[in-house]
Structure 1
Amino acid sequence: SRAAALRVSACVEVGRRAARAWPADPWLIRTPTDVAEPLVDAMGALEREELRVLLLDTKNVVTAERTVYRGNLAGSSVRIGEVYRDAVRACAAAVIVAHNHPSGDPSPSGEDLRITSELAEAGRLLDIELLDHLVIGRGRWTSMRALGALAQPPAPTMRESTPRAWSTT
């Protein structure tokens, strides 16, 4: 039937768009810009707040991207356990958290700073490094690490005795 053909066509188009959204080559993260630029394109114009978590392996390659929250017009509430749930299940070495401000202004709020601190502490306890927390606006972004909100580096672990390369420049 025509309706079934339209449904199949729509599913194919959704698959094409999803394939274009995920990088064809391994998504290696060396700096906040490496992750912020694709996320500004994907999240900068969203009308509602979203929080995403990127899971990284020990070489800073993104292994998965998860949308943890979609908020209402008034914002979203964040449970730290939900942010780290998939990272624990996947045995991720590190995460990068990003959320957008529907206003378009990527300036971090007091709540953003508080949540960043809690995420960093939880990551230390779980042995999953929080590399950064990015606030995404329209065409702009802010790195919480560059602002000093993640100033206390995690202690080296048995599997990794040298600091991970992560530059904010």
Structure 2
Amino acid sequence: MLRQRAESPALLNGHEAARRFLGSYFDVQDMECEQLLVAHVDSQARCIHVERYQGMPTAVGLPVRDILADALRLGSSGVILAHNHPSGDPRPSESDYRATRKLARAAEVIDLAVLDHLIFGARDYSSMRQMGLL
């Protein structure tokens, strides 16, 4: 787990802003293992923290407890998730969907919004929010 502070308060107030900001964290050369990014935002959609979790070639865990603990510590209003698929296929898997829904249900308890979950492939990406899965 690598903790990173957002260098400037990037405004993630829309789908395209989140895609550009989080997509910049994924290096094409470093796509052999899945990685998960969790961007914590305040009530004005300013990024206040980015957390990176390293996965394996075919999976990355969604650490619900860690995400919620960070949100409470940081005072986050919402989170935007992003991860890559080394296979190149940006479509969410069934396990991506189940894990995201589990986090969204748990986050409701502390009034934390799961704003989107972006999945980056080799040349494209998917948004679970735009697909109606959130």
TM-score, normalisation: structure 1: 0.69
Establish whether residue 54 from structure 1 lines up as the match of residue 45 from structure 2. no
The residue identity in structure 1 corresponding to 2:33 is R
Q: Mean alpha-carbon deviation: is it higher for 85-94 or for 40-49?
A: 40-49
Structure 2, unaligned runs of 5 or more:
none
**Post-superposition offset of 1:104:** 1.8
- Identity across matched positions, percent: 34
SS in 2 for 1:33: helix
Residue by residue over 1:32-64, the C-alpha shift from the partner in whole angstroms, topping out at 9 and shown as x without a partner, is: 111112322321522211111101011011011
Please, which moves more after superposition, 45-54 or 70-79? 70-79
Tell me the residue number matched to 1:106.
90
| Structure 1 residue ranges without an equivalent (≥5) | 1-17, 151-169
> Quick one: distance in 1 between partners of 2:25 and 2:122?
10
Amino acid of the residue matched to residue 52 of structure 1?
L
What is the distance in 1 between the residues matched to 2:22 and 2:122?
10
Runs of 4+ in structure 1 displaced over 3 angstroms?
Answer: none
Q: When you count helix as a share of all residues, which structure comes out higher?
A: 1
Q: More displaced, 73-82 or 123-132?
A: 73-82
What root-mean-square deviation, in Å, do the aligned CA atoms of Structure 1 and Structure 2 show? Answer: 2.0
Larger radius of gyration: 1
- Note if contact 1:99-1:134 (Cα within 8 Å) is conserved in structure 2: yes
Counterpart of 1:131? Answer: 115
Of the three residues 16, 31, 41, the one matched with 1:33 is: 16
Q: Is residue 122 of structure 1 aligned with residue 116 of structure 2?
A: no
Task: Report what 1:148 is aligned to.
Answer: 132
Question: Matches of 1:66 and 1:54 in 2, distance apart?
Answer: 7
> Match for 2:34: what amino acid?
E
From 57, 63, 67, give the equivalent of 1:83: 67
Structure richer in strand, relative to its length = 2
Corresponding residue for residue 77 of structure 2: 93
